[in-house]
Structure 1
Amino acid sequence: MEEAKGVVKHIVLAKFKDETTPEKIEELIKAYANLVNLIPPMKTFHWGKDVSVESLNQGFTHVFESTFESAEGIAEYNAHPAHDEFANLFLSHSDKVIIFDYKPTVFRW
């Protein structure tokens, strides 16, 4: 197994409040995606909705994945004013959130 050099993935699982409309969720997703344009160490952004048939999502409905150039890049992202502003808005519409950062490892046979 080989650890990706420097790269760190930032995963957010979210369950939005019942009163958060689909339009507001779409607005939040667009604002989250725009952080790539505002915070240089944030290299990519992907998101999706739960489609599992196992019903083990514990109420979480959305996943957001960002790629950073390093752990220091995540620290810069967390301290950035654009992140602070977005996070406050995002969390005000979230019922539950899990955040997980990891260094990807590639399995090679």
Structure 2
Amino acid sequence: MIRHIVLIRFREDIAEATIAEIFDEIGAIRDRVPGFIDMRGGRSESPEGIERGYMHGFTVDFESWEALAAYQEHPDHKAAGGKLVANAVGGTDGILVLDLDV
């Protein structure tokens, strides 16, 4: 299984409702991409307090690297990804992505 991990530093003027809508769009892609297993996301509740501004994030689990590739090429992913970039501090500078084979 591949775990796609995304951390975002959203601009301060972005409402939690807007962030939730973007995350909902990403989760809805599940029905359109074979091998998309699950998506979880939200605001950090870490008691450690070392988020360094990356207060929101999500994970998406995929059956394979091929399923992740199909997701990355899907037009709905590109649209939601564009919204992440547009609302993140510094565009792509405010986004971290890790993909792990778990």
- In the superposition, the TM-score normalised over structure 2's length comes to 0.87
Counterpart in 1 of 2:101? 103
Q: CA deviation at 1:100?
A: 0.3
Aligned pair count reads 98
Equivalent residue for 1:15, pick from 4, 9, 16: 9
Q: CA deviation at 1:55?
A: 1.8
Counterpart in 1 of 2:38? 44
- Do residues 90 (structure 1) and 77 (structure 2) align? no
Q: Which has the higher strand share?
A: 1
- Do residues 73 (structure 1) and 71 (structure 2) align? no
Give, in whole Å, the separation in 1 of the partners of 2:42 and 2:13.
20
1:24 match: secondary structure: helix
Counterpart in 2 of 1:4? none
Q: Which has the higher helix share?
A: 2
Q: CA deviation at 1:87?
A: 0.8
2:8 match: secondary structure: strand
Structure with larger Rg? 1
Give, in whole Å, the separation in 2 of the partners of 1:66 and 1:31.
13
Deviations for 1:67-92, whole angstroms, at most 9, x for unmatched residues?
11111111111111111111112211
Deviations for 1:43-66, whole angstroms, at most 9, x for unmatched residues?
111113211222211111112011
TM alignment of 1:26-65, pairs within 5 A: 26-65=20-59
Counterpart in 2 of 1:107? none
What RMSD in Å do the two structures reach over aligned CA positions?
1.2
1:16 match: secondary structure: coil
Give, in whole Å, the separation in 1 of the partners of 2:17 and 2:41.
16
Q: Which amino acid is 1:26 matched to?
A: A
- In the superposition, the TM-score normalised over structure 1's length comes to 0.82
